[in-house]
Structure 1
Amino acid sequence: MSAKPAAIDASAVTYEPGTILSSETGKPITVDMLLDDLSSAGVVYIGERHTNARHHDIQLEILNGLQQRELPIAVGMEMFDRTYNAILENWSRGGLEETELIQQTHWYANWRYDYALYRPILDFVRTHQVPLIGLNIPFHLPAKIATGGLANLQSFDREFLPEDIDLSDEAHRAYVQEIFEMHKMRGRDNFDYFYEAQCTWDEAMAESIAAALNSEILVVIVGNGHIVNKFGIPQRAYRRSRVPFRTVYLAEAGQEFDLDQGDFIWITSKEKVKPHPPP
């Protein structure tokens, strides 16, 4: 077997937006080839840069492609915490108006990004009555852990923690430390606390994914940072479930990337949208 190509320097190799690379071969594939591969997975992770509208178009394209193959699917989203799952079930069944979903899940207090970016995905869920699962823990917790660490959480916060939090992955730790050094914030200058927060966040969503697995393909909509190199959520969910998965990492044109960042790398345009104030 030939060695897998590892690194692609976007400054040396120019890929047009819309190019999809297989990390196994380093070669471009078609959308149909991608969907054929994803169809065999139990979990499909699709990353995003939250403000890139094209990334959400691609997520919807994959959802539509799987649904058109008459495959049973469910959708898990980072954008909702798991205490809202009864509300999300009501949405999937057509029991809520959009304004009610936004209000009842405290969208703009929690997620904060423009709902319009996610509207087509959430409309797809409701139209096709696809099960929708909130993956996150209550949104105040990662920030609280990053400031004071896990040991200082009160009992009413501890009830939301995942049962198992693995802090031992050195490659993941190095990746998170690089991010920490770039984005140090006042009051969050303790890397150990920051790393505890990141791992708690990833482990909680991995736990939610493992608990939600059923006969459907679970399509996970989540930020790129949680799936890059598979050591955030994907490997942690696999540790719990042993269900095979695929990752689709969305890289903007001109961005330097490594094929190890995902099973598939989809090159996209840069389409950052201006934030809209909440209604």
Structure 2
Amino acid sequence: MSLEPLSVQAGQWIDSKSPEVRTHRSVMHEMAKKRVVLLGEQHDRHDIHRWQVNVSASLLALRDELAVGFEMFPRRIQPVLDEWVAGKLEAEQFLEKAEWGKVWGFDADLYWPLFHFCREFNVKMLALNCRRDLVTRVGKEGWEAIAEEDRDGLTPARPASLAHREHLLRLTNGGPPIMQGKPADAPEFDRFVRAQQTWDRAFACNIATYLEEKPEALVVGIIGRGHMEYGFGTPDQLDDLGIGEVGVLLTEHVGETFEKVSQSDIADAVFGLQG
């Protein structure tokens, strides 16, 4: 993993592997050839969600069948998403039936542009998450302690590599207090890693299930960026499930602490947003 910083300008795509400036057209045409395109987010940024809509619309123009999967919704909410796209629910009804205040802690206004995009263009919305109590239990007890009927349709996650664990340790500023000063492969970090991987596997399993039903579709994933950077997390779990051709797109904010892409290979391409 290179530590060479990459400059990014507002309104510009950077190929983080080169680094070269890319046109929007070239990035979209490349991504339209994928089976899955993951659009990483910081959950509380309106501008990132607008970017997600714009990228999704660009991909819809290039592919006959598109689905948008959301980290925000557990699998059991899928019938509500179908009702919303079909025009059977008003906005407040949708939030109430989807249990928004329970399943996701962020303002719904951040996500309305995405929800309306799917409804207006009849784009399938996919619930990608699992039950929260499953994440907690796997973290505490391990996967093997979970009865098959309680696994919410998930299969066991591919174990995290040391590089992935090191990345998670950086993301969490050294991990929980019990981890302070310890390396990423310390057993004290296992609980956190298992929980994180349960989310990664849930997103991957639910995407893979849809692609089994609709093999010609392109699935766009609306997921936190920590679940996809450097190909760790969800891309790795998709690979374990036999889903190749996965693209990862991220943003960086010009004029903030995110002004530099600190390491290359973080994604297929990075888009600069005004800070």
TM interval, shorter chain, is 0.7 to 0.9
Q: CA deviation at 1:267?
A: 2.0
Counterparts of residues 196-235 of structure 1 (less than 5 Å): 196-213=194-211, 214=214, 215-235=216-236
Taking structure 1 as the reference length, the TM-score comes to 0.84
Summarize deviations over 1:129-156 as a string: whole Å, max 9, x none.
Answer: 111111111133334444x232696649
TM-score by length of 2: 0.86
Q: How does 1:1-279 map to 2 (within 5 A)?
A: 6-9=2-5, 13=7, 15-69=8-62, 71-146=64-139, 148-150=140-142, 155=147, 158-160=150-152, 162-182=154-174, 184=176, 190-213=188-211, 214=214, 215-253=216-254, 254-270=259-275
Change (3 A) 1:200 1:161: farther
Aligned-partner residue type, residue 10 of structure 2: P
Cα gap change, 1:263/1:103 in structure 2, threshold over 3 Å: closer, same or farther? same
Aligned residue type for 1:85: Q
Cα distance in 2, alignment partners of residues 68 and 239 from structure 1 = 30
1:158 maps to a residue whose letter is D
Please tell me the root mean square deviation across aligned C-alpha atoms, in Å.
Answer: 2.4
Q: Which deviates the most, 57-66 or 160-169?
A: 160-169
Distance 1:153 1:83, change over 3 A: farther
Shift of 1:157: 7.9
Deviations 1:171-215 (A, max 9, x none): 1112123334545269xx942111111111111111111111122
Stretches of structure 2 that go unaligned for 5 or more consecutive residues are 179-186
Quick one: structure 1 residues 255 and 109, their matched pair in 2 at CA, closer, same or farther if it must change by over 3 Å? farther
Q: Return the alpha-carbon distance in structure 1 between the equivalents of residues 54 and 171 of structure 2.
A: 30
Displacement after TM superposition at 1:6 (Å): 4.1
1:257 CA drift (Å): 2.5
Measure the CA separation in 2 of the matches of 1:47 and 1:255. 17
Change (3 A) 1:8 1:157: farther
Alignment partner of 2:241: what SS?
helix
Indicate conservation of the 8 Å contact 1:149/1:197, yes or no. no
Aligned residues: 260
Give the conservation status (yes or no) of the 8 Å contact 2:35–2:218: yes
Query: Using the alignment, how far apart are the partners of 2:149 and 2:5 within structure 1?
Result: 43
Shift of 1:62: 0.8
Letter in 1 for 2:110: L
* In structure 2, distance between residues paired with 1:168 and 1:154: 19
Q: How many angstroms apart in 1 are the aligned matches of 2:60 and 2:39?
A: 15
CA contact (8 A) 1:145 1:194 kept: no
Contact 2:134–2:151 (8 Å) recurs in 1: no
Residues 118-138 of structure 1 show CA distances to partners (whole Å, capped at 9, x for unaligned) of 101100101111111111111
| DSSP 3-state at the match of 1:47 | strand
Superposed CA deviations along residues 234-272 of structure 1, whole A, max 9, x for unmatched, are: 1211221333111102222214422211011112233xx
AA of the residue aligned to 2:252: A
* Structure 2 CA distance for aligned equivalents of residues 249 and 184 of structure 1: 26
SS of residue matched to 2:265:
helix
